[in-house]
Amino acid sequence: MVQENGVPVGMKHYPVEFKADAVALYRSRPGATIKSVAADLEVNTETLRNWIRTADGPRPGAHSAPLSAAQAGGGDVQTGLTAAR
């Protein structure tokens, strides 16, 4: 795909307010599917799904970045290895 200014051609940019309104609309329709709301708004289904995930924040148990040895509780092990060397 050809790019202009580092953005793939054909990608649409939606205002933050539109994204928030789309998520609110989906949540306000108890029986609605992401597919049906996306069709109503004329956005890609995966695009709306991503907006909903972003609005929900990080999921419990999801790994966003590897833990350092100190964060994982392995700081004492690392200190011991350094001292042994």
14-63 tens-digit pLDDT:
999 999 999 999 999 999 999 999 999 999 999 999 999 999 998 777 66
Q: What is the CA radius of gyration of the chain?
A: 21
**How many Å apart are CA 40 and CA 21, to the nearest integer?**
13
pLDDT of residue 60: 78
Q: Are the C-beta atoms of 37 and 22 separated by less than 8 Å?
A: yes
According to DSSP H, which parts of the chain are helical? 16-28, 34-41, 45-56, 75-84
The model's pTM: 0.60
21 or 74, greater pLDDT: 21
Binned at pLDDT 50, 70 and 90, residue 12 comes out as confident
**Over 80: is that where the pLDDT of 67 sits?**
no
